[in-house]
A = this chain, B = another copy of it.
Amino acid sequence: SRSINLAVVPGDGIGQEVVAQGLKVLAAVLPQDVKLETKEYDLGAQRWHRTGETLPDAELDSLKKHDAILLGAIGDPSVPSGVLERGLLLKLRFAFDHYVNLRPSKLFPNTATPLAGRPDIDFVVVREGTEGPYTGNGGSLRTGTPAEVATEVSLNTAYGVERVVRDAYERANSRPRKKLTLVHKNNVLVYAGHMWKNIFDKVGQEYPEVTTDYLHVDAATIFFVTQPERFDVIVTDNLFGDILTDLAAAVTGGIGLAASGNINPTGEFPSMFEPVHGSAPDIAGTGKADPTATILSVALLLRHLGYESEAVRIEDAVAADLAGRTPEAVRTTDEIGDALAVRVAS
């Protein structure tokens, strides 16, 4: 009989609330014969305040044994910026070699977008997750003095770039439009940028059916608002992917809807699924958080674990729910979760 052994890291702020809805929908969509086991991990701001720990080795070892991780949100204004992001969220992504940070963007019918003309948006960003400017490689000298020097080193390897580029080609090849865009800034970041472009071109020879193009990151942001329908699959570096996917979320209905998967395609480590949004401490506890991004992340989780039809059921339920939303009928976090749980169960 089948089973899913899931680690749950609610984290901070609205994390707890949205994860609860994700679990509700997960329980509702799973076939009877699948045994769902969950274990909750107390990690985040409160833990840090209490113990000074962000992610102890024992917890990391324990997390490693799960089939997948569902994460809510990490970060709180009471903790110095970077402590939890680097010490917990990025530590997980790096330790579990989540080199494919998958972020689909789709403008569902009836969903508000700041763009006039409601373009037809349906693309996915494959963001590199384990290299680039995110490695934490840098430092500062004479910190806090007028003579301070601070560096941030973007580390990029052919090993790391090729595997994520290959993953992106595979995804592009399996989609109807078969189009892949590389985004970088190779006219300025010439070392990393040329390596990315060379590997992109080289791997592309193995995918003759995939149409490719290249955009500088600055130009890409222009197309995100003027011509987002031109994109199918985008592959890009860790930092550019961070920036572009928030912008993508904004033009497709907001970060309340943006899902993501931090994927380790080899299966050596558990993959981790989380909404793109942060912990939103300003609305925590008010019931205003939209759990849809987390619920769509659960769909990505199910797809990753091989439950394709269940993933589609969640996505269809979300599309139907969004189609029925009206600006007047504002629902709570819980009510949206309930509505989606009902839809996927039926």
From B146, B159, B225, contact of A146 by CB (8 A): B159
What are the interface flags for A187-226 relative to B under an 8 Å C-beta threshold, 1 for contact and 0 otherwise? Answer: 1111111110110000000000000000001110110111
The answer to the question of A120 belonging to the interface, with a C-beta cut-off of 8 Å to chain B, is: no
Q: Which of A150, A217, A219 has the most CB of B within 10 A?
A: A150
Q: How far is the CB of A137 from chain B (nearest CB, A)?
A: 8
- Known contacts A116-B116, A149-B157, A154-B152; is-contact A218 B242 (Cβ 8 Å): yes
A159-B280 Cα distance, complex, nearest whole Å: 34
Q: What 7 pairs across the A-B complex have the smallest Cβ distances?
A: A218-B246, A148-B158, A82-B190, A221-B247, A116-B116, A152-B154, A222-B250
For this chain, the copies found in one complex come to 2
What are the interface flags for A149-175 relative to B under an 8 Å C-beta threshold, 1 for contact and 0 otherwise? Answer: 111111111110010000000000000
15 A/B residue pairs, CB under 8 Å, sorted by A: A81-B194, A86-B187, A114-B116, A115-B116, A133-B188, A134-B188, A136-B190, A138-B154, A138-B192, A150-B192, A151-B155, A152-B192, A188-B242, A221-B221, A247-B247
The answer to the question of A145 belonging to the interface, with a C-beta cut-off of 8 Å to chain B, is: yes
Instruction: State whether A114 touches B246 (Cβ < 8 A).
Output: no
Inter-chain pairs besides A82-B193, A114-B115, A217-B243, 10 sampled, C-beta below 8 Å: A86-B187, A114-B225, A133-B133, A133-B154, A151-B154, A151-B156, A152-B153, A152-B156, A152-B192, A185-B242
Count residues on chain A whose CB falls below 8 Å from chain B CBs: 68
From B82, B149, B226, B255, contact of A188 by CB (8 A): B82
The answer to the question of A249 belonging to the interface, with a C-beta cut-off of 8 Å to chain B, is: yes
Q: How far is the CB of A12 from chain B (nearest CB, A)?
A: 13
List B contacts of A159 (CB < 8 A): 146-147
The answer to the question of A75 belonging to the interface, with a C-beta cut-off of 8 Å to chain B, is: yes
Instruction: State whether B198 touches A221 (Cβ < 8 A).
Output: no
A114-B114 Cα distance, complex, nearest whole Å: 8
A186-B82 Cα distance, complex, nearest whole Å: 7
What are the interface flags for A72-87 relative to B under an 8 Å C-beta threshold, 1 for contact and 0 otherwise? Answer: 0001000001100110
Instruction: State whether A187 touches B149 (Cβ < 8 A).
Output: no
List B contacts of A115 (CB < 8 A): 114-116, 225
Instruction: State whether A187 touches B152 (Cβ < 8 A).
Output: no
The answer to the question of A239 belonging to the interface, with a C-beta cut-off of 8 Å to chain B, is: yes
Instruction: State whether A152 touches B247 (Cβ < 8 A).
Output: no
A135-B131 Cα distance, complex, nearest whole Å: 20
The answer to the question of A140 belonging to the interface, with a C-beta cut-off of 8 Å to chain B, is: yes
Shortest Cβ distance from A219 into B: residue: B246
List B contacts of A190 (CB < 8 A): 81-82, 86, 136, 138
The answer to the question of A56 belonging to the interface, with a C-beta cut-off of 8 Å to chain B, is: no
